[in-house]
């Protein structure tokens, strides 16, 4: 009970500190040298939009920085109050088959985590509604949450069943064998996501604007991307935000545009956005992401296995867990991986920002239309109420893309450099 009180007080103190940082301590003003430029939000946003952008960004950032440690609190509560041991005991009373024990346990643990996280998730949903980023009805939102719950629970069960089977076979090297098995599993997920998983949430259909599709496919042909169609997805039923992407590998590669992007951007702006996405493919970022996830999982499993074993040795008897192979130890394992993932996110985001900048470079070199490029970024910021110059901590932990300030100033510099080179060429002639 005393430890629970200390955990609660620690969470409250952390919440107070992160709230002070986000709402009062962080400076997000535009650097003086960029005031009045195309990167200055006061140039392309109204006063009301600036206010909404600031408030919406702060609340969403605050929710993120609270929700991650709250997940850790959930695992500690399940362990500390004996719920994990109780779940295991109830599962064992149902049947003598261990695979069914594990399935029941995973469902119970996932359900308690889902219920305890629901208030934060619901508040995040209502905030998006209030700021008109989301227009998704509650019934549809809840449907997506339930679909995600069962998909995640199914994947978690497969992973848990595999890892704990490996633990029973080899307590020292289970993490290595688990990693080796994760490689084909990761490849499988990359391959099936565009075809099997994404359509569970939205309807995908061929781009209705055939003229624009021909332009995009011509762009893809210049990029040596073998695509014969562009997909449109009906995200306008859920959100006012914009997005486009290229995902999948091999024959399952898909070029996808949200219909909101088509509604709010000009054809030239759409082409720049698609050139950016194609840049990821041309520069093999999809495959580098795949390799990165494989390397990251190796390090995570290696470090995590050692921390996990140490936790069970130190606190297992307090939680009613005799050894690591006990399924009741799962919350401790998930806690370790969640903490490691959070700690690694600044490095992963930095790598991602570099890849996104590389895709921006490719897109502007391919389209040579800085006006459309800047316009697309400005419209992305307006539609998503994105903060142009976020706090440093937010950038480190949340931004897998360069900030809008960085992206637009890069385009301005590219335009200036191009203009200068053209003048030099003319003078030489």
Q: Which residues are identified as catalytic?
A: 277
The CA distance from 398 to 61, in Å, is 8
Report how far residue 277's alpha carbon sits from residue 225's, in angstroms, rounded to the nearest whole number: 11
> Among 4, 14, 9, 95, which Cα is nearest to 393's?
14
| 90-126 exposure pattern, b = at least 16 Cβ within 10 A, e = fewer | ebeeeeeeeeebbbbbbbbbbebbbeeeeeeeeebbe
Ordered DSSP codes for 337-379 = HHHHHHHHHHHHHHHHHHHHHHHHHHHHHHH--HHHHHHHHHH
Q: Residue 81 gets which letter from DSSP?
A: T
Residue in 64, 60, 15, 55 with CA at minimum distance from that of residue 397:
64
Tally of residues, the chain? 429
CA distance 25 to 405: 20
296, 376 contact by CB (below 8 A) = no
d(CA 78, CA 83): 5
- The separation between CA 379 and the C-alpha centre of its own chain, rounded to angstroms, equals 21
Dihedral of the alpha carbons of 211, 217, 222, 226, in degrees to the nearest 10: -160
3-class DSSP string for 117-145? HHHHHHHHHHHHHHCCCECCCHHHHHHHH
- The whole-angstrom separation of Cα 263 and Cα 371 is 18
124's CB contacts (< 8 A; 6+ apart) are 60, 63, 67
Rg from Cα positions in the chain: 24
What gap in Å lies between CA 215 and CA 12, rounded to an integer? Answer: 53
SS3 204: strand
Separation of alpha carbons 171 and 152, rounded Å:
26
């Amino acid at each position: 009970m005393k430890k629970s009180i200390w955990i609660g007080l620690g969470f409250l103190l952390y919440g107070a500190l992160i709230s002070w940082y986000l709402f009062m301590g962080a400076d997000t003003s535009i650097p003086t040298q960029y005031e009045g430029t195309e990167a200055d939000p006061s140039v392309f946003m109204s006063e009301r939009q600036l206010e909404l952008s600031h408030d919406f960004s702060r609340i969403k950032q605050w929710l993120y920085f609270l929700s991650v440690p709250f997940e850790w609190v959930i695992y500690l509560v399940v362990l500390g109050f004996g719920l994990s041991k109780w779940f295991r005991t109830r599962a064992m009373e149902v049947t003598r088959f261990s695979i069914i024990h594990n399935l029941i346990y995973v469902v119970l643990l996932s359900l308690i985590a889902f219920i305890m996280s629901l208030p934060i998730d619901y508040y995040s949903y209502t905030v998006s509604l209030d700021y008109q980023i989301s227009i998704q009805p509650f019934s549809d939102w809840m449907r997506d949450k339930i679909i995600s719950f069962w998909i995640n629970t199914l994947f978690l069960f497969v992973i848990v069943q595999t890892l704990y089977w490996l633990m029973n076979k080899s307590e020292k090297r289970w993490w290595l064998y688990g990693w080796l098995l994760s490689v084909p599993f990761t490849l499988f997920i990359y391959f099936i996501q565009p075809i099997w998983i994404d359509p569970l949430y939205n309807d995908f259909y061929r781009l209705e604007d055939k003229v624009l599709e021909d332009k995009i496919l011509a762009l893809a042909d210049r990029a040596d991307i073998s695509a014969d169609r562009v997909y449109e997805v009906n995200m306008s039923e859920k959100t006012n935000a914009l997005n486009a992407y290229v995902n999948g590998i091999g024959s399952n590669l898909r070029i996808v545009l949200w219909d909101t992007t088509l509604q709010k951007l000009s054809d030239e702006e759409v082409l720049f956005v698609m050139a950016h996405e194609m840049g990821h493919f041309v520069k093999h970022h999809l495959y580098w992401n795949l390799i990165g996830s494989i390397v990251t999982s190796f390090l995570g499993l290696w470090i995590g296995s050692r921390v996990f074993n140490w936790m069970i040795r130190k606190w297992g008897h307090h939680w009613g867990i005799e050894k690591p192979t006990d399924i009741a130890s799962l919350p401790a394992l998930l806690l370790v991986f969640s903490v490691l993932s959070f700690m690694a996110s600044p490095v992963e985001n930095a790598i991602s920002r570099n890849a996104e900048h590389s895709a921006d470079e490719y897109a502007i070199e391919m389209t040579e239309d800085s006006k459309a490029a800047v316009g697309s970024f400005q419209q992305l910021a307006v539609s998503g109420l994105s903060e142009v110059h976020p706090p440093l901590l937010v950038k480190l932990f949340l931004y897998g893309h360069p900030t809008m300030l960085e992206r637009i100033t890069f385009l301005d510099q590219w335009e200036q450099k191009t203009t200068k080179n053209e003048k030099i060429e003319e003078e030489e002639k």
